[in-house]
């Protein structure tokens, strides 16, 4: 049986062959039990079990059901793992397949990634951490996780920077699935990496806006991590997904979608409240268009005529077939369609002072931009 168990960078405890575990050296901070000790006998790793390591430097470490044998020199002085190995030695003991050092808060894949990274000279590591395709992100995530857990801070920061660089690249961000976005967001929150979080969230939001990626995983991630911007656009897009799948549910009757939304009760309350608010927003705007400003080349009397024409043409555009074919909650698409119609409207060209007309179209553009910014307030978190 393993003599010592390292839970993470701050918690080590001594194993007593099934007796109650007692803290050793450092305070125990969680309640994980060494359940991974149970089951089939561990086997040697096909890559990182080196028979050729000098006996005085060799250490055997068990992660999940895999045994690794490497040189203790691989771990920097002062690191939790190196310190524990030194303690082992000073107690006159040696690790072995039968008495390995056990890492309980790691995955075998993560530990392989750590050993790989530790074997590269630190000056060369950035060049080695350059993922060019989505599959290469996952070892980096595993590396970030294990280096965070066992406090290889420099290596962790290098892994996070590499992920950030990868997601600044268009190809990766434009093709990766929601699960990858969610995994990175989770890590960025856990490791307090706001720059990484911002880069990844912007890419995710951008693809949600273009409806290239499903909204439900983004809703789950946003609610889990309390990310307002992601929450707003994700709930909004989910409403459009539901309406596009169930076009017969028209008008303000979005409540009928309740049973089909795959959201939990709290999320459904948030979702329905937001949908209702969006519908109300549009109903109000449909009746009362954005105010037409009186600008250069116009005067009080002439502007009264500008306003009459603007309001009439607004009404035509807001109730046209083109506009009504959009879902009742897709206000961003509705505003875009109305703006396109008004831009091409000849009555406005002929009867409204050019500066006033441009001011009205700009005001409409600003209404849409403000709504986009305001979406998190339409879908607030209910806790």
Applying CB under 5 A, the residues found at the interface with Zn ion are 294, 298, 303, 306, 353, 356
Instruction: Compute CA distances 61 → 72, 92, 99, 104, 176, whole Å.
Output: 10, 17, 9, 11, 34
* d(C-alpha 57, C-alpha 71), whole Å: 5
> Which strands sit side by side in the sheet containing 58-63, from one edge to the other?
22-23, 12-14, 4-6, 101-103, 58-63, 66-71, 43-49
Residue 298 beta carbon to Zn ion: minimum distance, rounded to whole angstroms: 3
Residue 292 beta carbon to Zn ion: minimum distance, rounded to whole angstroms: 7
Q: Where are the alpha helices (DSSP H) in the chain?
A: 80-90, 108-118, 125-128, 137-149, 153-168, 170-175, 178-190, 194-209, 216-225, 228-245, 265-287, 300-318, 321-324, 331-343, 346-351, 354-378
Instruction: Compute CA distances 255 → 46, 274, 283, whole Å.
Output: 56, 11, 17
Comparing CB distances to Zn ion, the nearer of 96 and 288 is: 288
Residue 311 beta carbon to Zn ion: minimum distance, rounded to whole angstroms: 12
Half-sphere exposure of 295 (CA within 13 A, CB side): 15
Q: Which of 211, 246, 237, 267 lies closest to 331, judged by CA?
A: 237
Comparing CB distances to Zn ion, the nearer of 335 and 356 is: 356
Q: Which of 291, 379, 289 lies closest to 334, judged by CA?
A: 289
Residue 223 beta carbon to Zn ion: minimum distance, rounded to whole angstroms: 47
Residue 302 beta carbon to Zn ion: minimum distance, rounded to whole angstroms: 6
Residue 361 beta carbon to Zn ion: minimum distance, rounded to whole angstroms: 13
Residue 259 beta carbon to Zn ion: minimum distance, rounded to whole angstroms: 50
- Asked if residue 197 lies in contact with residue 185, where contact means CB atoms within 8 angstroms, the answer is yes
CB neighbours (10 Å) of residue 112?
A: 21
Comparing CB distances to Zn ion, the nearer of 59 and 298 is: 298
Comparing CB distances to Zn ion, the nearer of 303 and 326 is: 303
Instruction: Compute CA distances 226 → 223, 269, 273, 277, 327, whole Å.
Output: 5, 16, 18, 21, 28
Comparing CB distances to Zn ion, the nearer of 156 and 303 is: 303
Comparing CB distances to Zn ion, the nearer of 147 and 309 is: 309
Instruction: Find where tokens 């990484």 sit.
Output: 196
Comparing CB distances to Zn ion, the nearer of 112 and 303 is: 303
Residue 126 beta carbon to Zn ion: minimum distance, rounded to whole angstroms: 59
């Amino acid at each position: 049986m393993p003599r010592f168990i390292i839970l993470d960078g701050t918690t080590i405890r001594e194993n007593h062959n099934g007796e109650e575990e007692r803290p050793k050296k450092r305070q125990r901070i969680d309640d994980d039990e060494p359940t991974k000790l149970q089951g089939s006998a561990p086997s040697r790793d096909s890559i990182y079990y080196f028979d050729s390591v000098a006996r005085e430097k060799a250490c055997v470490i068990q992660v999940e059901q895999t045994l690794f044998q490497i040189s203790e020199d691989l771990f920097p002085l002062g690191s939790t793992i190196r310190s524990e190995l030194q303690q082992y030695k000073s107690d006159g003991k040696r690790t072995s397949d039968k008495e390995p050092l056990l890492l309980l808060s790691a995955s075998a894949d993560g530990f392989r990634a750590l050993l790989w990274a530790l074997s590269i000279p630190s000056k060369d590591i950035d060049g080695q951490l350059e993922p060019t395709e989505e599959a290469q992100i996952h070892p980096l995530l595993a590396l970030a996780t294990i280096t965070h857990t066992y406090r290889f801070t420099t290596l962790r920061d290098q892994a996070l920077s590499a992920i950030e660089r990868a997601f600044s690249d268009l190809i990766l961000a434009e093709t990766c699935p929601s699960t990858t976005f969610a995994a990175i967001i989770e890590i960025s929150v856990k490791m307090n990496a706001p720059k990484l979080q911002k880069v990844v969230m912007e890419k995710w939001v951008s693809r949600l806006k273009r409806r290239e990626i499903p909204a439900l995983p983004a809703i789950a991630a946003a609610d889990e991590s309390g990310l307002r911007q992601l929450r707003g656009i994700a709930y909004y897009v989910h409403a459009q997904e539901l309406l596009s799948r169930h076009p017969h549910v028209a008008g303000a009757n979005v409540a009928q979608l309740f049973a089909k939304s795959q959201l939990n009760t709290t999320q459904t309350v948030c979702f329905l409240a937001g949908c209702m608010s969006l519908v109300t927003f549009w109903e109000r705007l449909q009746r009362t268009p954005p105010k037409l400003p009186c600008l250069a080349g116009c005067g009080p009397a002439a502007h009264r005529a500008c306003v009459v024409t603007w309001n009439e043409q607004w009404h035509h555009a807001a109730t046209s077939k083109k506009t009504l074919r959009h879902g009742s909650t897709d206000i961003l698409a509705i505003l875009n369609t109305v703006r396109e119609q008004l831009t091409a409207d000849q009555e406005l060209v002929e009867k409204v002072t050019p500066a006033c007309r441009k001011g009205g179209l700009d005001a409409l553009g600003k209404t849409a931009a403000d709504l986009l910014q305001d979406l998190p307030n339409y879908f607030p978190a209910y806790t």
